[in-house]
Amino acid sequence: MRITEKEVRYVAGLSNLKLTDAEVVKLQADLDGILEHMDRLNEIDTTGVEPMAQVLFEAEETATLRADLPVPPLGNQAALANAPQPGAGYFKVPRVIER
């Protein structure tokens, strides 16, 4: 599968990224490489291979995840305690997107 320069520029626009022509060419080559690798992976015969949802099922006991236990949530005041500019109960940040 080939990705076109037009598609790279379209996705960059959706991401609000301004790319130079050189960056578009490089990104196009990188994405082509990724998609080519995915195509090769899709060609692998996985007949008879059971689907895996979690790689740790067969792992040693020491490699398992911790128990998922409920804990009290972080309160609004505690979350905003170190915020440089809290405002109206929210994190206040400078505008980064101009449209």
Number of other residues whose CB lies within 10 A of the CB of residue 39: 10
The CATH number of the domain holding residue 9 is 1.10.20.60
∠ CA 23-26-29, nearest 5°, is: 150
Pairwise CA distance, residues 94 & 85, whole Å = 10
Residue 36 confidence (pLDDT) above 70: yes
What mean pLDDT do residues 33-37 have? 95
Please report whether residue 96 resides in a domain.
no
**11 lies in some domain:** yes
pLDDT confidence tier of residue 59, bands split at 50, 70 and 90 = low
Q: Let me know if residue 64 belongs to a domain.
A: no
Q: How many domains does the chain have?
A: 1
Q: List the beta bridge partners of residue 87.
A: 90
Average pLDDT for 63-69: 76
pLDDT of 54: 67
Q: Look at residue 13 and tell me whether its pLDDT is greater than 90.
A: yes
Tell me, yes or no, whether 62 lies in a domain. no
Whose tokens are 């305690």? That residue is 81
